[in-house]
Structure formats: C-alpha cells, structure tokens
Amino acid sequence: MRRKKKSAIWGNIYLVLLMRLLLVFAIYTITRLLFYLLNQSLFADMSTGYLLSLMWHGLRFDATAIAYTNSLVILMHIIPFRFRYNRAYQKVLGIIFYVVNTIGIILNMVDTVYYRFTMKRTTTGVFQEFEHENPTSFIRFIWEYWYITLIVIGLVFLMVWLYKKIRVDQSTMRLRNFIYYPLGLIAMAIIGYHTVGAMRGGFKPGTRPITLSNAAEFIRKPEHRAIVLNTPFSIIRTIGKTRLERKNYFSKDELNQLFYAKHVPTNDTVPHYNQLAGRNVVIIIWESFHKEWVGVLNKDVEGYAGYTPFIDSLSNHSYMFARGYANGRKSIDALPSIIAGIPSGENPFISSHYSGNRINSLASVLKKKGYQSAFFHGAPNGSMGFSAFMNQAGFDQYFGMTEYGNKSDFDGHWGIWDEPYLQHMAYELNNFKEPFLASVFTLTSHDPYVVPPKYNGVFPKGEMPIHEPVGYSDNALRKFFETAAKEEWYNNTLFIITADHAVSGALPQYKTAEGAFTIPVLFYAPGSDLVGFNDSTVVQQTDIFPTTLALLGVDENIVSFGNNMFDPYAPHFAYNYYNGAHQLIQGEWMLQFMNESTIGLYNVVEDRLMKNNLVGKHPVLQAEMEQLVKALIQQYNNRLIDNELAP
C-alpha cells in the first residue's frame, strides 16, 4: 500500500465525495462574491448583512447546478464496486471533475462582464444570440478582459490543487462482500435521493423544481436576483425553453392603434362607483374554480344546480361576469395575469427567460396610494414559486404554511385546508392598517381531491372527484365571509373572486378549446351599488388589474394586457395559448392562430361544442381578429424581450 502523504486529506470514499462537493460550493461562492465586487456599482442598497443573506440563499441554487453538472462525478463515487478505488479510475474521475467544474467557473466569471450588457444572468438564449457570431469575438473577449481570464486560470489551479489534497482511503475495501455490497447499495440510494432533491431544490410537499423566478423570494430589488443565481443554474433551467422571437407584423403606430398595452385607467366614460375610492381590496384566487361548478352560470342546463351554493347566493349582491376566461392553464400562469396584467403566451412569464423583468402590479401601484399588501397561500413556503413572484410584484408580506404555524391542519398533500386557512387570513387582516390589498390562493380543490374527515359525505360527490372539494371550498368561503362581516374593515372592502385556471369538466360544452378556459369573475363591494349580471362582455384575468384601479378611482400609468371591464368603449376580448395555438375570444367568436395563419374560427355562443370551423366564411371578421391577435403577440414578445412590462 502506498505511503500516505502528510499534506493530503485521506478519507472514506463518501467523505471524500462530500469534501470534493464542498470544494465546488466554495468555488461557486467565490465566483458569486467576485460577480458582486466587479459589478458593485450596479447593485444599490447593498449592506454587508444583506449581501451575506443573498449569498447564503444562493447556495440553494448552487446545489441544483452542482448536482446536475457533477451527476456523473457523484455516480462514479457511489457505485458499489471495488474498482472505484483503482488508481486509473480515480484519475479519470478527476479529469471529469476538472472539466465540468472548469466550465462552471468559466460561465460564472464570463457573466461578471456580460451582465453589464444584459442586466441578467445568462440563459440558453445566449446560444441563439451568438450562433452566427465570429469565433474571433471570443478571442477578443479573452484579450480585452484579461483580468477575468487570469481569475479563471487562478480558480481552476486552486480547484485542482485542493482536489488533489483530498484522497480516497482504501480501507473499506477490506470489508467482506456480504457487508460491503449491501452497505454500498444503501449508501447509493441515500446519496441518490439527496442528489435528486438538490436538483429539484427540495422535496417539500407541493414544491415544483426551483426556477429562476424563485430567486426573487430573497431580494429587495429585481437586479439583486443575479447575485442569488449562478450562470450554470440559469442555463440548465432554461434548456428546452424556447426564447421568444421578436415580431414585426406592424409598425409602432399601427401596433398601438390595434392594441396598446401601456395605458392610463380612465373613469370619465365608466359608471362611477364613488364609494369604492379608498376601499381595501381582497382578491380570492380559487384553485380550479371552473365556470361549470357555478349553478347560476349554467341556468341553461336543465336540472343542473352546480356545486357552489354560497357563490350562487353571493352573486345576487355582486357584479358577476358570466363570460370570464383564464389566460393560462396552470396555477403559475394565474398570478402574473391577475396581479400584473401579464397573459400566459407561448412562453409563460413566470417560467421564461424574462421572469426577472421589471413589472408593475396592483401592489406596486397601490403602494403609492398608501396601501399595505399581503399574499396568503396555505402551502409550504416557496411552493409553486408564489412567494418569489409576489415579492417581485411588490407585495409587502407573504403568509404561508410557516406563518400559519399549525401542522395539525395540514391536508397531507398541498397545505392547510381551505376552511382554517381562510379563517386565519380573516384574523390576520384585523391587524392590517387600512387601506390594504390582500390576495389569497386556495388549494383544497386540487388533486387528489380530498376533504377533511369530518366533512366526508357532507358535500355532493357529483360526477367528478373534484366536485366534493369544490363544495367544501365554497362552504369555507361562506364561513370566511361570515367571520369577515363582523369586522370593521369588511364594509370598506372590495372583494374579487376568480379562479387560477379551469379544469376539464363533465358537461360537453366545457371540454372544448374555449370551454377549457372559462372561469367566474365576481366583484363584491358590501353596501355599494356594484351589483349586476353581465352575460355578454368577454373578460379575462388580465382585466382585473386595470379594472380594480378604475373602481378605486386610481389614475396611474400602467402596462397591462387587459382593459377595464366596465368601460363600454374599451376593446373586450380574452387571449390564451392552447396546444400551440394562440386563441382570441371576442364577442361571439373565437379565432385560433397557429404557425402564422388562422386555423380555426368558431361562433362559441351558437356553436358551444365547436363543431363548425368557419375559417374563410367570414373574411372581414377573420381579418380583424387576426390583426388583433398578431398585435397581442407582437406586444407580448417584444415587451418581454425589451423588458417593457412596466411604464
């Protein structure tokens, strides 16, 4: 056996793996610190404590990047065969370690310069941007930014030197086979499990794999997100996510005539609800709250009562839009649409390359008017990336499962049952200074569609598993309003109830490309004359932002892909993206636009099952709708590319 060098650290192969991975974490931390120091002038309001906090939270994103890039290195350490101690095997392992982590060092260090031009971490879009670039440009970069090149070389030499100090002790090879292999398999399973957890960013219930948008959870300003992230992570998380293509269907003047996303809410042509000025706002986003579940919205279906008796009763004292549409099909699509007026196009904002763009929102606009804002979600903190987005949108506070503090009300799947959580929100709102903006995202009416044991058999089972929890959530809302009605802030509040998205229903008219997006939209202002039932105006989630401002009498420049629902002179339509097609619903009609041409035109009022494709039968109407959908696509793509989602 070779004599051990005193300067080397010898250890069990699993301990060696841990030390080598910690070495990579240390290198990533150094590159993050250099990223900040070399761009210090671009990051305002940066105290030492705050910087350390950003670097600490950045370790989570480092873990994901390191787990992906070093997956082969990890596997080569943990496969339970004795040849992994072989000298030649260890040399090959070392070469792979050097290569993958040198690439990580280069990517992080190149971004210390490239960030100054893009103001965000590099994503896979860089390969599209430079696919036709002359290779000499990269040579010029090495020469012009020679100090970055020297730092990269220095970090690589440091990594190699320290790696060679960490050596494998072959003592475990002396174990007998009946001990060696079972222990090896157990260790492989445990390490493999934690590696997958690192790739996902954790195993919390209901947590999706972390993306770029999750970094916003820990920052005070959008530009600080780049410090939390690392470049390998940004590239990995945008692999397969198509970068938006700039559209030039129309000139700037033509585009703004067709549809202009930047506008000022006006009240001069709208019925006045003066008593709403200065009211609190509570937005209830109901998980999977499909139009089909509401009896009052399906009076044309003989014998159909629906599953929301409370909403049916509340509609008699509210203003309800019967032709509401979601802009997306997923929960993560809903918040940008409802809160910030951003639809879910071909590349949904929250999971796109552009998720770090500057945005405006209800929270950011109302903050100027003295509103305190908070978002409530009973899932584990960080779930779905909601806390990150709400931070980006300018909300002051986030209340999740952690703040709720009672795990006995955990449903075992997604978070806190709707009934106790809505009561919790009502209690918390008593502590808010008025005026306030609060939004809550419910979760019980989500797969696997269960209700608390004490409510088994209480609500109709219906035809689908979701029907029973919809009845439970409806009852939870009833109890919330009963509690809230006893509080002083209640009569000074505008309540908005809508859905995150629709789901496939049981009735045939809701199984179509149009019916798959239909949702209720309801405004309730106790004691006001905001009462009515509108079954003709097409409205969408992105309309909620400008409509709320108009109802409150707030005139501010905003960017929104929606319009005031109550403005009779505004264009009223709904836009969504479905299976590769851009869909535009306007009046009685729905147009489907795919691959630069119209593939479908339906009268969705007369032909609810969408059996008659009328493409080419109404050329003037088709041309007008095609112009509008192109304008929407151009505004959406170009504003995301140019970072123009706020005035």
Domains along the chain with CATH numbers? 9-237 (no CATH), 252-641 (3.40.720.10)
* Between 203 and 77, residue with greater pLDDT: 77
pLDDT of 581: 83
Task: Please give the pLDDT value at position 261.
Answer: 87
- Of 272, 270, 249, 252, give the one whose Cα is nearest residue 260: 252
pLDDT tens digits, 219-247: 877 678 889 999 999 999 888 777 788 99
Q: What is the dihedral of CA 559, 238, 40, 395, to 10 degrees?
A: 40
Q: What is the mean pLDDT of residues 367-376?
A: 97
Report whether 207 contacts 201 (CB < 8 A): yes
pLDDT tens, 431-475?
Answer: 999 999 999 999 999 888 999 999 999 999 999 999 999 999 999
User: From the DSSP assignment, how many helices (H) and strands (E) are in the chain?
Assistant: 20, 17
Per-residue pLDDT at 12? 84
pLDDT for 138: 66
What distance in Å separates the CA atoms of residue 543 and residue 562, rounded to the nearest whole number?
4
Q: Dihedral of CA 342/343/346/347: which sign?
A: positive
482-503 average pLDDT score: 96
pLDDT at residue 267 is higher than 70: no
pLDDT band at 132 (very low <50, low <70, confident <90, very high): very low
pLDDT: which is higher, 259 or 522: 522
- 32 pLDDT tier (thresholds 50, 70, 90): very high
- Residues 405-415 have a mean pLDDT of 92
Of the listed ranges 100-114, 255-269, 557-571, the least confidently predicted one is 255-269
Q: How far is CA 598 from the centre of its chain?
A: 30
Share of the chain above pLDDT 90, in %: 69
pLDDT in the model for residue 245: 87
Name the average pLDDT for the chain.
90
Residues 551-594: pLDDT tens digits? 999 988 999 999 999 999 899 999 998 877 899 999 999 999 98
Whether residue 124 has pLDDT greater than 80: no
Question: Is the pLDDT assigned to residue 1 strictly greater than 50?
Answer: no
Per-residue pLDDT band for 11 (boundaries 50, 70, 90) equals low
Q: What pLDDT, on a 0 to 100 scale, did the predictor assign at position 249?
A: 96
Q: Which two tokens stand for residue 573?
A: 């339509």
Query: Residues 476-498: what's their mean pLDDT?
Result: 98
- CA-closest candidate to residue 638, choices 129, 348, 246: 246
CA–CA separation, 213 vs 356, rounded Å?
7
CB-CB contact of 533 with 315 (8 Å) = yes
- Does the structure show a pLDDT above 70 at 385? yes
Position of tokens 């552009």?
Answer: 354
